[in-house]
Structure 1
Amino acid sequence: MRLPILLLAVATAAAASDLDWWKTALVYQIYPRSFKDSNGDGTGDLNGITEKLPYLQETGIDAIWMSPIYRSPNYDSGYDITDYRSIQEEYGTMEDFDRLLNVSRGLGMRVVLDFVPNHTGNESEWFSKSTTRTSPYTDYYVWADGLNATDENGTLYEKPPSNWVSTFRGSAWQYHQVRGQYYLHQFVIGQPDLNYRSDVVQEEMKNVLRFWLDKGVSGFRVDAINRLYEADPRNFSGLYPDEPLSGAEGAVPDDYEYLQHIYTENLFETYDVVYDWRDVLDEYITSQGEYKIMMTEAYADLQLMIRYYGTKTRNGSIPFNFSFLGDINKDSTAWEIKTVIDKWMTYMPSGNVANWVNGNHDQSRMANRQGVDRVDAMNMLALILPGVAITYQGEEIGMTDGYVSWNDTQDPQACNTNDPVNYYKKSRDPNRTPYHWDGSANAGFSNTTGATWLPVASNYQTVNLAAQMATQKSHYHFYKDVAAQRKTPALQEGDLDTRALSESLLVVTRLLPGEAGMLGVVNLAAEAQTIDLTSLKILPSDLEVVASGVNCALEKNATLTKSSIPVSAHCALLFRSGIVGGGNAAGAHYLSLPLLVLLVVATYSITACFS
C-alpha cells in the first residue's frame, strides 16, 4: 500500500468525522456575561471564554454554544439585538471573536452561535427606519392600527389591536408616536417582532446566517422559534383576533398565562422558514467541509416540536428536547424517567438525531430542580443516551442557583412583576450567576474590586471547579469520565435499552455487536441496593467501572459480574462490558483517528523499506 492511498483513507475518515460530528456532539452552553471576566469590569467577555477553552477541551466538550454576543442595549440580556453583524462592546470586538474561533478550531472544538430571529431591539437601524416608513424597512415589523373603543363613561379612546399579552406581562402591543401605529412585541417593549410575512425580512435573516457561516461558525441555536408568526389579519377581516381566555387559576389580564396563545404560537408557516434556513446551512457543507448544526427552541407539545425535524422532502433542525426540564423533577421515579426517555425516542422520526438537555439560562439550575443527589445521575443520562448532549455551564460541577435580591435583579421578567416580595418566582437571574472557578474572591470569575454584574452564589467556596479538580471524587471527575466514554463505539452507535427495575433503579444499556458495551446504573433511593442483571442476555457477564459518582462505594476500575452489582444510595455508575457477541475483554478495541494516522505512517515506512 502506497502512502497516497493511505493518506486518502485518513482524509476520508477525517471528512466523515466533520460531516457526522454533530450526531453525538457534547455541546456546552456558555452564558457569556457569567462565564469569565478577563478585564475586571465585572462582566464576562469573549477573551474570558477564550482563556477557558483548554479547560472545556480537556473536559471532553465538542462544541460551545454562546448565548447572544451581538450589539444590544441589554433590555433583555442581549436578546434585544440592534446589529446582528457586530459584537456587543462589553464582550469585546470582532477581532476577539475571530481569535476565539481560531483557538477553538486549534483545540478541535466548534463554535455555535445563538440566533434570535423573532425580534430585534427597538434601537436598531431597521426599526428606526421602519417607524418612518423608509423603504425597504416599512414592513420589517408587525404594525397595526389601534381599535376604537368607549370606556364605562362613554368616552371614546383607542385601544391596542388585540388582547395579546407579552411573555413579560402586559399588552404585547406598544404605540409608536412617530409611526402612528402599534407594534407587536411578544417579549419586552424594547423587542419589536419582525414580520415574517415579508419576503425581504426572510432574505435579510438568511443573510445574517450567511455572515456568520462565512466566518466559519459550526451552526446555530435558534431562539423562541415558535413565535415567528402571528395570525394573518387578512383571514380575520383585516383585524388581529383576540385570543381566548385560558382559565388559569390566579392569572390576571396582564399575565401571559391568562390567555390561550392560539394565534401567536406554533403557527405552521414557521416550519417552512426553518426548512429554508436548513437549506442555507447546507450550502456550506461542501464549501467548508463540515455539517452545520441547527437546534431550535420551542416550548410546545411534543408532536409540534417533532415537526421541526423536517419532512420526507425537506430537512429541518434538531428541536430541543426539554423533557428533562419539564417532565421530571427531584421526586420522579425510575419508571417516570424511563417513560420520558422512551417517549422522545418513540416520537422522533426514524433516522433523526435525539438530544438531551438538563438545563439552560431560562430555567432553575439542574441541581435545584433535580436535587443535588441526582446531579451525577442526570449528567450521566444526558451523556450516555443517543444523540446530542447539552450541558449548561456549571452543571458539570453541580452548581446551584444563587440568591439575587430585588435591588440586584436584572431580569425584565422579574422586574416587570413590580413585586419586591414575589419577583423571584419569575426571575431567571439565580441560574445566571457567575461560574465558580475557585474559592477566591468572586469565585475566580472576576478580579474586579467592585460588584460583579450579578452576585456569585453563596456556596462558591465549597462548590467550585478548583476544589472538585483537587478531590479524587467529585461531580467534575465523574462528568469528565463519562464524557470520555462518549467516544466509544457503543455510545456513538450502540442500540439503546432502558429498564426501570423498580421505583428507584434505572438501567440504561448501549450495545453494539463486536464492541464493548456500556451500562449506566442509577439508584435514586436513600438506601444501598444490589441488583442482578442476568436477564440482560446480550450483555456480557464481566463489567468494569469506568465512572463512579460521588455517592458510590464502588471505585473506578473495579471489576464485577452482572449477576451481583452493589449500588450505593443516590449513586450513578457507568460500566464497560466485554465484547458484545463474543470474547470477554473488558475494553473496546477500535482505532481513533490519531492512532490511524500513526499506523499509516508506520506502515508506509515499512513498505518503503521493501519497495
Structure 2
Amino acid sequence: MTTPDSNAALRADGPWWADAVIYQVYPRSFADSSRDGMGDLGGVTEHLPYLRRLGVDAVWLSPFYKSPQADAGYDVADYRDVDPLFGTLEDFDRMLEEAHGLGLRIIVDLVPNHTSDEHVWFQEALAAGPGSPERDRYIFRDGKGEGGNEPPNNWQSVFGGAAWTRVEDDGGAPGQWYLHLFDSKQPDLNWGNADVRAEMEDVLRFWLDRGVDGFRVDVAHGMVKAEGLPDWSSKVAMVGGGDDAPAAEEASRDEEIEATEKPVDLPAEDQGVPRVPEKNMTPSGDAAPPYFDQEGVHEIYRSWHRVLSEYDGDRMMVAEAWVEPMSRLFRYVRSDEMQQAFNFGFLLAGWNARNVLENVTETLAEAAAVEAPPTWVLSNHDMVRHTSRFGLSDPTSFPKGISAEDEQPDEELGLARGRAAAMVMLALPGSAYVYQGDELGLPEHTTLPAEVRQDPSFFRTDGAERGRDGCRVPLPWIADAPAYGFSGPEGGEDPWLPQPESFARYAADQQVDVPGSTLELYRELISVRADRGLGTGSLGWHELNAPDAGILAYTNGGIVVVANMGGEPIDLPVGEPLLLVSSPDAVVESEGVNRLSPDAAVWLG
C-alpha cells in the first residue's frame, strides 16, 4: 500500500527545505572557541567542515541574541544583536559566510510571543503607565476584585503559577497586571498592536538582509489570544509524555510563586522557568485554550510569508507548534504560510512500531492535503535524548529529565535502538532534524548532581522535575583532551555543565572514519538518502510490516527499510542485498536466510 505523496508537488526543481536534513546547534554546548567554558559562534564556525562532511543541508541555531539568559536566551532583550556570551554580529556574519561557502544553509531561532522584561519596549511600558501606546505593545490589564488585587483572569503560566504579574505605579502603589504565558521575565507581546507587527517584520528583514535562510519560530501557536481573554480551565489530560497532568493542575505545584511578584529582582530560582513541551499542547479532543492555536496566528504567518517571498533563495520558516489534531498542525504550512512544522508526534512515539506507523500514516496524509513536506525529529534541546529514553524499561516514556535517583537507562540497549530509529527516520520522505550529538549516539547525562544543575525547573519544583540539563551537556570532540575538547585540544575554563566520563568513548575523534561507529552510520545514511532521493520519495508499506508484532517495514526509493522493535529475530526477504545495518550484529545468517535481530534495523536494496 502506498501512502499519500506529500512531496509530489515539490519534486520538480523543488525548494531546498522540502527534503533537507537540518542539524540543530545549541550554541552554548556545541564548541567553545574563546576557552571560557561557554560555547559560541566562533566554535560553530570552526566545526562547519565537520557538519559539511556529515552531509547535512542546513544548521538551525538556538537563540544567540542579547539576553539576560533567564530562559536560556528565549527571553530576548535585543533581536538585532548577539549576546556577548556568544560573540558579536561580526562573528555571526563570518560564520554565515563560511557556512554558505560550504553549501550549508543557516536557520535562526525567532521568539515572537514574548520579549525579556529587560527589552527596551517593556521598560518603556513600565515607565509610561496605563493607557499609553507603550503599554499597548504588551498585554496589560487592570485587576479584578477589590482594589484590582486579583489577576485579570485565571490563566496559568506554562511554567507554573499565575500567568499574570502585578507592577507598581509611579508612587509605588500596586498597579496593573501584565500577561506572561511563560516566566514573569517573559512578558507576552500584544499581537493586535501595529507596532508589534511592524517591528517583528523588520526583525525578519534584518536577518534576511544579512543572508539567513530561514527561521525556527518559537511558540508559533501562542501569539494571538482570544478576544476578551476569557477564563479557561480543563481537566482533560494534556497530550504528551511525562505524567500527563492537566496544565492547571501542573501549575498548582508551584504554590510558592506569588501572583504579585515583581518583574525585577526575582530570586534566582524564579529566573527563566523552563518550558515543558506537553504543557504547550492543546488537550486531546478538546478546544484549544484561549491563548493557543487561535485563528489570528495564520494571518501573521501569511504576512511573514510575503516578507520572505521578497528574497531569493527559498527562505523558509518552521513552526514550533504543539497542536492537535494533526490536521490543525498542518494549517500552519498551507501554501501561503510557513514551509514546515515540527512533527512532535514522531518524537513522542518512542520505540514502538504501532505508534510510529500511526504517526507516519497520519503525518503523510495531512501533509499531502496541503502539499507540504512532513518533518521528522527524535531529540532536541528540551527533551531527554532518545538514546536514553529508548533504554528505559518503557521505551515510550517521556521523563522530564533523569537523575541518579531515577531508573537508569540501559545505555547499550538505548544506543542500539537509537541507531535503528535513525535508520527509520532518515529514509522517510520529507525533512529530518538531527540534534547535536545524535550523530555521536550521545546519551543523556543522567547523574548530574544537584549542585551543578542549572535548569530552573529543577529548583522551582524542588527537584521533582529533573530538568533539561542532561541533554544540554557540552559535546565531546577529543577523547583525551580537557573537557573532551569542548574548548579545543588545550582546554580552557570548566564547561558550563560538567560532562560524564562516558563521553570519552563517544567523542568525535573516536568515531571519524571508524567503520561501524554511530557517526559513520549517520554519514552513510545521509549520503544514501541524498543519492536515492529518499527525501522526495514516496513511502509504501512493505508486506513484512506487522506493527502489532513489533515490525515496521516500508519502501522508498527502491530501498526496503525494516526495523525490529519486537522481541524475536525476524526473517528478511530472500534475495534483497544488505545496504546498511544499524549495528554489525544486526543481521545473522541462518540456513541461508538473513535474520534481523531485535532492537535493530536494516536498509535493503
Normalising by the residue count of structure 1, what TM-score does the alignment of the two structures yield? 0.80
Deviations 1:435-476 (A, max 9, x none): 122323312212555431111134212222222225321211
> Are 1:355 and 2:375 an aligned pair?
yes
Percent identical among aligned pairs is 34
> Are 1:409 and 2:453 an aligned pair?
yes
Tell me if structure 1 keeps the 8 A contact 2:347–2:376.
no
Tell me if structure 1 keeps the 8 A contact 2:342–2:377.
yes
Instruction: Write the mapping of 1:20-31 to structure 2, written as runs, cut at 5 A.
Output: 20-31=15-26
> Are 1:283 and 2:326 an aligned pair?
no
Q: Secondary structure at the match of 1:132?
A: helix
User: Quick one: which of 471, 486, 501 aligns to 1:445?
Assistant: 486
Q: How many residues align?
A: 518
Instruction: Write the mapping of 1:431-442 to structure 2, written as runs, cut at 5 A.
Output: 431-440=471-480, 441-442=482-483
Instruction: List runs of 5+ in structure 1 lacking aligned partners.
Output: 1-15, 150-155, 234-239, 512-516, 534-541, 577-611
Q: Secondary structure at the match of 1:423?
A: coil
Deviation (angstroms), 1:527: 4.1
Deviation (angstroms), 1:406: 2.6
Distance 1:469 1:141, change over 3 A: same
User: Quick one: which of 185, 197, 201 aligns to 2:196?
Assistant: 201
Q: Secondary structure at the match of 2:338?
A: coil
Distance in 1 (CA, whole Å) between partners of 2:386 and 2:250 is 30
Tell me if structure 2 keeps the 8 A contact 1:34–1:433.
yes
**Partner residue in 2 for 1:337:** 356
Distance in 1 (CA, whole Å) between partners of 2:568 and 2:454 is 42
> Are 1:33 and 2:33 an aligned pair?
no
Tell me if structure 2 keeps the 8 A contact 1:284–1:292.
yes
**Partner residue in 2 for 1:501:** 546
For 1:263, give the aligned amino acid: P
Distance in 1 (CA, whole Å) between partners of 2:387 and 2:492 is 30
Q: Secondary structure at the match of 2:79?
A: strand
**Partner residue in 2 for 1:51:** 46
Mean Cα deviation higher: 358-367 or 67-76: 358-367
Tell me if structure 1 keeps the 8 A contact 2:80–2:203.
yes
Distance 1:297 1:518, change over 3 A: same
Tell me if structure 2 keeps the 8 A contact 1:552–1:572.
no
User: Quick one: which of 65, 69, 72 aligns to 1:77?
Assistant: 72
Deviation (angstroms), 1:387: 0.9
Instruction: Write the mapping of 1:127-526 to structure 2, written as runs, cut at 5 A.
Output: 127-133=122-128, 137-149=134-146, 158-178=149-169, 180-233=175-228, 240-246=229-235, 251=249, 254-255=252-253, 262-285=289-312, 290-301=313-324, 302-310=326-334, 314-326=336-348, 328-330=349-351, 332=352, 334-348=353-367, 349-371=369-391, 372=414, 373-402=416-445, 403-417=447-461, 419-420=462-463, 422-424=464-466, 427-440=467-480, 441-446=482-487, 448=491, 450-469=493-512, 471-499=514-542, 500-501=545-546, 503-511=549-557, 517-526=558-567
Distance 1:493 1:157, change over 3 A: closer
Tell me if structure 1 keeps the 8 A contact 2:20–2:535.
no
**Partner residue in 1 for 2:406:** none
Tell me if structure 2 keeps the 8 A contact 1:552–1:573.
no
**Partner residue in 1 for 2:603:** 574
For 2:597, give the aligned amino acid: S
Tell me if structure 1 keeps the 8 A contact 2:513–2:520.
no
Deviation (angstroms), 1:575: 2.8
Tell me if structure 2 keeps the 8 A contact 1:436–1:463.
yes
Distance 1:459 1:18, change over 3 A: farther
Distance in 2 (CA, whole Å) between partners of 1:241 and 1:112 is 36
Tell me if structure 2 keeps the 8 A contact 1:110–1:217.
yes
Distance 1:466 1:359, change over 3 A: same
Instruction: Write the mapping of 1:567-606 to structure 2, written as runs, cut at 5 A.
Output: 567-576=596-605
Instruction: State the Cα RMSD in Å.
Output: 2.6
**Partner residue in 2 for 1:532:** 573
Normalising by the residue count of structure 2, what TM-score does the alignment of the two structures yield? 0.80
Instruction: Write the mapping of 1:104-143 to structure 2, written as runs, cut at 5 A.
Output: 104-133=99-128, 137-143=134-140
Deviation (angstroms), 1:528: 3.1
Distance 1:245 1:351, change over 3 A: closer
Deviation (angstroms), 1:161: 1.1
For 1:545, give the aligned amino acid: L
Tell me if structure 2 keeps the 8 A contact 1:118–1:194.
yes
For 1:407, give the aligned amino acid: E
Q: Secondary structure at the match of 1:407?
A: helix
For 1:437, give the aligned amino acid: W
Distance 1:267 1:458, change over 3 A: farther
Distance in 2 (CA, whole Å) between partners of 1:60 and 1:193 is 38
Mean Cα deviation higher: 128-137 or 517-526: 128-137
Distance in 2 (CA, whole Å) between partners of 1:164 and 1:315 is 29
Deviation (angstroms), 1:306: 1.4
Deviations 1:40-99 (A, max 9, x none): 111100000111110000010100000001000000000000000000101001111011
Mean Cα deviation higher: 460-469 or 391-400: 460-469
Deviation (angstroms), 1:392: 0.6
Q: Which runs of 4+ in 1 moved over 6 A?
A: 256-261
Deviation (angstroms), 1:322: 0.8
Instruction: List runs of 5+ in structure 2 lacking aligned partners.
Output: 1-10, 238-244, 254-275, 392-413
Deviation (angstroms), 1:376: 1.5
Tell me if structure 2 keeps the 8 A contact 1:275–1:310.
no
Distance in 1 (CA, whole Å) between partners of 2:300 and 2:52 is 34
Tell me if structure 1 keeps the 8 A contact 2:330–2:341.
yes
For 1:388, give the aligned amino acid: S
Mean Cα deviation higher: 487-496 or 473-482: 487-496
Distance in 2 (CA, whole Å) between partners of 1:176 and 1:448 is 46
Distance in 2 (CA, whole Å) between partners of 1:26 and 1:162 is 43
Mean Cα deviation higher: 341-350 or 117-126: 341-350
Distance in 1 (CA, whole Å) between partners of 2:492 and 2:195 is 48
For 2:309, give the aligned amino acid: D
For 1:406, give the aligned amino acid: A
